[in-house]
Amino acid sequence: MQPWREVSALVLVAILWGGTNPFLKTGTEGLEKVKQRNRVLQLLAEMKFLCLNYKSNT
């Protein structure tokens, strides 16, 4: 791959990453309120929250 192509690809990824970051922050609001008694249940509860939260799926 040519160096200018690599730089352009990195710039594109940076733009896409930065553009989606506000949506990710909005979609995960309330995740910090999910509390369980152990790590496995915490992981499952967080996954359930993210899958069922309509804001993170749009």
Q: Label residue 30 left, alpha or beta by phi (over 0 means left) and psi (-120 to 50 means alpha).
A: left
Report pLDDT digits (tens) over 20-39. Answer: 888 888 878 888 999 999 99
**Which tops the pLDDT comparison, 58 or 51?**
51
- What are the counts of helices (DSSP H) followed by strands (DSSP E) for the chain? 2, 0
34 in Cβ contact with 46 (< 8 Å): yes
Structure token digits, residue 44: 């499952």
pLDDT at 6: 94
50 in Cβ contact with 56 (< 8 Å): yes
Q: How many CA atoms lie within 13 A of 27 on its CB side?
A: 16
Confidence of residue 46 (pLDDT cuts 50, 70, 90): very high
Domain ranges of the chain: 3-52
